[in-house]
Chain A
Amino acid sequence: MTKLTVIHMDQGDRLLLYQLFWHYYRGDLMKLTTIDWANLAELLRTMTVLCESEFGNQAITKFDEVSEETLESFVFDYNRLFVGPNRLHASPYESTYSNFEGTIMQQETIKVRNFYHYEGLQVADEGQYPDDHIQYELEFICYLLNQNEKGPDLKLFLENHFFKWVDKHCERIEEHSQNQLTLAFAYLLKEFLQLEKIIIEGGEPNVN
C-alpha cells in the first residue's frame, strides 16, 4: 500500500467517493458509457492523493481504458460477486464477515440497525433487506459526513463497522473478479479505505 505522510483530501472529495461507492453498490452505475467512465477517471485525477497511490492509480487507469467488452460483462460479474442468483463471491453484507456463522440478519446486523436508530434513521424496508448491506452503510456514512457535528459518530461507525469488514470484502472481489470495472472498484475502495483510516485514526498508513 502507498506510503503517505500528508493526506490531501477535503471533505468534499471524501463525500464524493463515498457517494460514488454508494451509487455503485446500489447498482446505479450499470449503464454508464465508456465516455462516462473516462469522465469519472478525469474527476478522480483531481484528487492527487488518489492518483499517487498504487491502487488508486490503477483503478483510475482502468476507468479510463474501459472497453465495450468490459461494459458488456460488467453487470454479470457484478451480479456474480454481489447479487446472485449464484453463491455470492463477495457478499456485500457486513454480518457475513463478522458473524461466526457468516449469515445475514444476525446480532451484528442489529448493531448496525441500532446505530441507524440512534441517529434517527432506519432502512426503509427494515426487516426485508439486511441493514448492513454496504449500500446502506455507505448512505449512512454520507449522512454523517455531511454534518460536521457528527464527526465522533462517524468515527465510531467507521471503526466499529465499515473498516472492520470492507477490506475483506475487497480481497474477495480481487480474488474472484473477472471484469476490469469490478476490479477497479475493489482497488479504489481498498485504497480509499486506507486513506480514510489515516484520516480518521490519524495514524500511520499501512505500509508495504
Chain B
Amino acid sequence: MLTENFSRRTFLKGSASLSALLGLGVATSQAPKGLIPKAQAKSNGKVEQFYNACPRNCYDTCSIVTTVEDGRITFITGNEKNTYTKGRLCVKGNTYPRVVYSPDRIKYPMRQKGRGSGNWERISWDEAYTIIAKKILAIKKEYGSTLPICLNKYSGNFNILNYATEGMLSSIGYTTRAQGTPCDPAGSDAQGFDMGAPYNNDPEQFLDADYIILWGANPAWTSAHSMYFIEQAKERGTKLVVIDPLITQTASKADEYIQVKASTDGALALGMIRYILDHQLYDKNWVSQNSIGFNEFFSYVKKNITVEWAAEKTGVPKPVIERIAREYATAKPANIWIGFGMQRHVNGGAMVRAIDALAAITGNIGKKGGGVNYIGEETWGFNYSTMGFGAPEGSGGEADRYVNMNNFGAQVLDANDPPIKMMWIACRNPMAQDPEPTVVKKAFDQMDLIVTADLYMNKTVEYSDIVLPVTTPFESVGVNVSYWHYWMNVNEQAIKPLYETKSDLEIAMGLSKKLNQLKPGSCTFPVTGDPLDWVEKEMNDDIKALFNVKSWDDLRKNGGTAKANESITVAWKDLKFRTPSGKYEFYSKTAAEYGHHPLPIFTEEYKAPKEYPIRCMSPHWKFGIHSQFQHQDWLMAIQAHPFLEIHPDLAKKKSIRDQDMVKIINETGYMTLPAKITKMVPADTVVMYEGWWKGVNYTENFTVKALQEDMGEHLKGQRGIAFHDNFVNIEKA
C-alpha cells in the first residue's frame, strides 16, 4: 500500500505517531487496495462495444448494444440487428446506466443487527458464506434434512444462468420452494386445457393481421416494441380494437375502444361466439378437422348464452358486440392478444378459455398473423446445466416441498413438518409484491436467517439478516430469451463488476465451496467454473439448430442476437395440439380432472362485498416492472409518489377533490394516498399502480387478499392470485 510505504520512509512525526497511537489495523481492514504504481500499458480512451440483454420480466427482452469507454458504460441503445428491438429501448431500459452507476447500489455483503433496524455492518464474502453455510449445516443436523430452508426466487432476472440459485439449493438437499407464478397461471392453464400449452405467434406478425384485438393488454406501457408493429399494422389499414375496463394509453391509440366491466370478458367472448354461431360465421372446416367437443360447446352456447345477456353482463351494448363479432369473424387473419391482467380474477382461466374458443371457431389458430396470443415458451429449451447436480448423498427427505408463491406468508407459517427456518430470496421482492404483506412479515419473523441477494435496498432487503450484492446484466455473462418474441440475445460482460458484487452463479459456487470446506460432500454444486464455460454449456443442438447458431461465442461475435427459424414462429401451424387428443379441445377431460367444467363455459365474477363495493385494480405502471425501475431517481423525478385514480362521479359522491388524501380500506388493510381524479377509470373502480414501494410505507397489496384465481395447478403447480378482485372502500382522509 502506497501510503504505508511512504509513511515508513518518512521521518514525519505525525503519520508515524498516528499509526502508533491508534494501532491502525490496516491489514485487517475491509477497504479495497489503495493506489499502486500505474500499469505500463494503460491506454486511455479505449472504446469498445458489447451485447447485453435486458433480463427483466418484460415481454420485450431487448437486445442492447453497450458502449464502454475506459471501462465504463457511456451509452446504451437497442440492437438494430434485432428486428423486434429495432434499435430502441424503452424509458425503463434507458435508465440502465443509472441502475449500474447510482451511488445507492448495494455494494458489499452486509449483515443487519436486528431485522428491520437499519443497523447494517459490512462483512466479507467469506464471512457471509460462513454464516450461511453454518446455518444450513446446523439446520440439516437438527431436522435431518434441508427442508426447513426455503427458496423464493422468481422473475427479477431471467438470464438462464441465474437458475444457478435453484441449482445451488438443489445441491444441498431437498428444500422448500416458493412455487407458481403471480403472472399468468390461470390463463396458461386455460390454454393448456384448450391446446396443450400456451403458445403465441411471433409479435412481429401483427403486421400480417387484418384485425387486432388487444384484450386487457396495455402494450403502450408494458411492451413498447410490440406497439410499434401494432401501430404499423394500423397504418396499413388493420383495425385495432382495445377491450379493457380502463382507458389505457393503448386504448387511446385504438380505432375502437370497448369498455368492458372488469371480470366479464368471458361473457363478452361468449356473446360474440353466440352471434358468430347464429350467423354461420364460424369456420366449419377448421372445427371439424382440428377440434373435439365442438358440438357440446355449441349446444352449451345455444342453451345458455344470448347476446342480450352478454350486453347486460358486460356493459357493452348489443350492437357493439354484434359488430365486433362480425368484424372479427370475417377478418382473415384476426389476432387477439390477451393481457395477463385480464386473468387476474377468480374466473380468469374460464375467461381465457372463452376467448380461446372465439379464436378457434373462427379458424384463427395456427395462422400467421392470427392466433390467440398470451405467452409462449418455445425458445426456452436450454440445458439448465446449473440445475442438474442433485441432492448430496445422505440428504434427508425425499423431494422438494412446495409452498404457493402467491400465498407465501400463510403457507410458510403453515409448514410445520419440518418448520421453515431459513429463507433465501433472489430476483424477487416478496415484501412489496405479495398479497397480505403483514402475513409475509409474520412468516419472516419466524426465520432464523433470511438471506437476500439484490441490487438495491427494498422492502425485502430491509427485513433481511444478510444482503448479498449482485451484478447488473452488464457485469456478468448470460443468455436470454423471451416469453413473447422469438429472439435469443447474448449477454456479455461489458464492465468489471463494481465493488464486491457477484452474479447468482458465482454466489452458488462460492457457497458450495464454503459448505464443502466445512463439511466435505455437503453440496454438489461445482465450486469453480468460468461463467463463459457455463453459458456455453447451456447451448444444446436443438437450440443451436433452432436459432441457426454455432455457439454462444459465435453469436457474440455475430451480432449478439438471433431469431428462431420459422418452423416455430406461427403457433400451432401444424395444427397438432399438445392435448391428449392432439386436437383443440373445446371439451377438455384434463380440465375436468382439475375440477373445472370441461367446456369453456361462463363463470361468474367475484361479487363485491357490501361494505367494500369499489374494485381496486393494480395494473402495471409505465415506468416500472413490478418493484423494479420505479425507485430509480430518474423515474422518481417524473413521478415521485403513488396515487389513487378515481372517477369524477365517485369522487363527487365521496367529496374527494384532486390531490386530496384518500384512505383506502378493506378487511385486509388500509393506506392513505393522494387522489387523482380521472375519467380513465370507471366509476365503480379505483386504480393504484403496481410495484410502488419506494418512499412510502405501504404497497398496493396492502388491501389484496390471497384470493385465488380459478386455475394454475395444471401447468404452474399453483393457482395465481386474483389481484384485480380486490374490493375496498374509500374516504377522504
- Verify that A and B bind, or say they do not: yes
- A residues sitting closer than 8 Å to B (CB atoms) are 11-17, 19-20, 22-23, 26-29, 31-32, 36, 39-40, 43, 73, 75-76, 79-80, 83-88, 91, 93, 96, 101-106, 109-110, 113-114, 116-117, 120-129, 135-136, 139-140, 142-143, 146
Report chain B residues within 8 Å CB of A15: 10, 12, 14-15
Residue of A nearest to B457 (CB): A86
CA distance A76 to B24 in the complex (A): 20
Shortest C-beta distance, A119 to chain B (Å), equals 8
- B residues sitting closer than 8 Å to A (CB atoms) are 2-3, 6-7, 10, 12-15, 17-18, 21-26, 29-39, 42, 44, 70-73, 97-98, 101-108, 110, 113, 118-122, 457, 461, 467, 469, 495-499, 633-634
Listed A/B pairs (18) with beta-carbon separation below 8 Å: A12-B15, A15-B10, A16-B12, A19-B15, A26-B31, A28-B29, A43-B17, A43-B21, A83-B107, A84-B110, A85-B120, A86-B120, A88-B104, A117-B44, A124-B33, A124-B34, A126-B71, A146-B10
| Beta-carbon contact of A19 and B103 below 8 Å | no
Known A27-B30, A128-B499, A129-B32; contact A36-B18, beta-carbon cutoff 8 A = no
CA distance A91 to B526 in the complex (A): 38
CA distance A104 to B30 in the complex (A): 21
Q: Which of A79, A109, A128 contacts B110 (CB 8 A)?
A: A79
| Beta-carbon contact of B14 and A13 below 8 Å | yes
Known A84-B110, A146-B12; contact A117-B467, beta-carbon cutoff 8 A = no
CA distance A14 to B105 in the complex (A): 34
Report chain B residues within 8 Å CB of A122: 35-39, 42
CA distance A135 to B467 in the complex (A): 24
CA distance A128 to B496 in the complex (A): 6
| Beta-carbon contact of B119 and A73 below 8 Å | yes
Q: 6 closest A-B pairs (Cβ-Cβ)?
A: A16-B14, A124-B33, A26-B31, A127-B71, A12-B14, A103-B101
| Beta-carbon contact of B35 and A88 below 8 Å | no
Shortest C-beta distance, A41 to chain B (Å), equals 11
CA distance A17 to B32 in the complex (A): 21
Report chain A residues within 8 Å CB of B23: 36
Report chain B residues within 8 Å CB of A102: 103, 633
Report chain B residues within 8 Å CB of A20: 18
Known A80-B118, A117-B42, A142-B6; contact A39-B21, beta-carbon cutoff 8 A = yes
| Beta-carbon contact of A136 and B35 below 8 Å | yes
Report chain A residues within 8 Å CB of B24: 23, 28-29
Q: Which of B33, B35, B98, B120 contacts A103 (CB 8 A)?
A: B98
CA distance A27 to B24 in the complex (A): 10
| Beta-carbon contact of A40 and B21 below 8 Å | yes
CA distance A109 to B71 in the complex (A): 12
| Beta-carbon contact of B22 and A27 below 8 Å | no
4 extra interchain contacts, Cβ-Cβ under 8 A, other than A105-B101, A124-B34, A128-B498?
A29-B22, A104-B498, A110-B70, A122-B36
Report chain A residues within 8 Å CB of B6: 142-143, 146
Shortest C-beta distance, B392 to chain A (Å), equals 32
CA distance A80 to B110 in the complex (A): 12
| Beta-carbon contact of A87 and B457 below 8 Å | yes
CA distance A146 to B106 in the complex (A): 35
Number of CB contacts from chain A to chain B under 8 A: 188
Shortest C-beta distance, B464 to chain A (Å), equals 9
Interface centre among A13, A88, A114, A146 (most CB of B within 10 A): A146
Known A103-B97, A135-B31; contact A84-B457, beta-carbon cutoff 8 A = yes
Report chain B residues within 8 Å CB of A86: 104, 118, 120, 457
Report chain A residues within 8 Å CB of B102: 103-104
| Beta-carbon contact of B18 and A121 below 8 Å | no
| Beta-carbon contact of B97 and A31 below 8 Å | no
| Beta-carbon contact of A36 and B22 below 8 Å | yes
CA distance A88 to B106 in the complex (A): 10
Known A43-B21, A80-B118, A128-B496; contact A85-B467, beta-carbon cutoff 8 A = yes
| Beta-carbon contact of B15 and A28 below 8 Å | no
Shortest C-beta distance, A166 to chain B (Å), equals 16
Shortest C-beta distance, A91 to chain B (Å), equals 4
Q: Which of B17, B25, B103 contacts A96 (CB 8 A)?
A: B103
Report chain B residues within 8 Å CB of A104: 101-103, 498
Report chain B residues within 8 Å CB of A123: 32, 34-36
| Beta-carbon contact of A43 and B18 below 8 Å | yes
Shortest C-beta distance, B414 to chain A (Å), equals 31
Known A36-B23, A120-B38, A124-B35; contact A84-B3, beta-carbon cutoff 8 A = no
CA distance A145 to B517 in the complex (A): 46
Shortest C-beta distance, A146 to chain B (Å), equals 5
Q: Which of A28, A87, A101, A142 contacts B31 (CB 8 A)?
A: A28
CA distance A101 to B21 in the complex (A): 41
Report chain A residues within 8 Å CB of B98: 101, 103
| Beta-carbon contact of A27 and B29 below 8 Å | yes
| Beta-carbon contact of A79 and B101 below 8 Å | no
| Beta-carbon contact of A116 and B38 below 8 Å | yes
Report chain A residues within 8 Å CB of B2: 121, 139, 143
CA distance A120 to B119 in the complex (A): 40
Report chain B residues within 8 Å CB of A120: 37-38
Residue of A nearest to B99 (CB): A103
| Beta-carbon contact of B29 and A139 below 8 Å | no
| Beta-carbon contact of A16 and B70 below 8 Å | no
Report chain A residues within 8 Å CB of B44: 110, 114, 117
| Beta-carbon contact of B14 and A19 below 8 Å | yes
| Beta-carbon contact of A139 and B3 below 8 Å | yes
Known A29-B22, A128-B497, A139-B34; contact A93-B103, beta-carbon cutoff 8 A = yes
| Beta-carbon contact of B25 and A31 below 8 Å | yes
Known A40-B22, A139-B2; contact A26-B14, beta-carbon cutoff 8 A = no
Interface centre among B37, B39, B70 (most CB of A within 10 A): B70
| Beta-carbon contact of A22 and B499 below 8 Å | no
Report chain A residues within 8 Å CB of B42: 117, 122
Shortest C-beta distance, B111 to chain A (Å), equals 10
Residue of B nearest to A29 (CB): B22
Residue of A nearest to B105 (CB): A84
Known A23-B22, A79-B110, A142-B3; contact A125-B32, beta-carbon cutoff 8 A = yes
| Beta-carbon contact of A116 and B35 below 8 Å | yes
Interface centre among A75, A86, A136 (most CB of B within 10 A): A86
Known A79-B121, A103-B103; contact A135-B34, beta-carbon cutoff 8 A = yes
Shortest C-beta distance, A45 to chain B (Å), equals 13
| Beta-carbon contact of B38 and A121 below 8 Å | yes
| Beta-carbon contact of A16 and B18 below 8 Å | yes
Shortest C-beta distance, B99 to chain A (Å), equals 10
CA distance A130 to B118 in the complex (A): 25
CA distance A129 to B101 in the complex (A): 11
Known A22-B3, A128-B497, A129-B32; contact A84-B106, beta-carbon cutoff 8 A = yes
Report chain A residues within 8 Å CB of B101: 103-106
Report chain B residues within 8 Å CB of A124: 32-36
Residue of B nearest to A80 (CB): B118
CA distance A102 to B44 in the complex (A): 23
CA distance A116 to B18 in the complex (A): 25
Q: Which of A91, A139, A142 contacts B103 (CB 8 A)?
A: A91
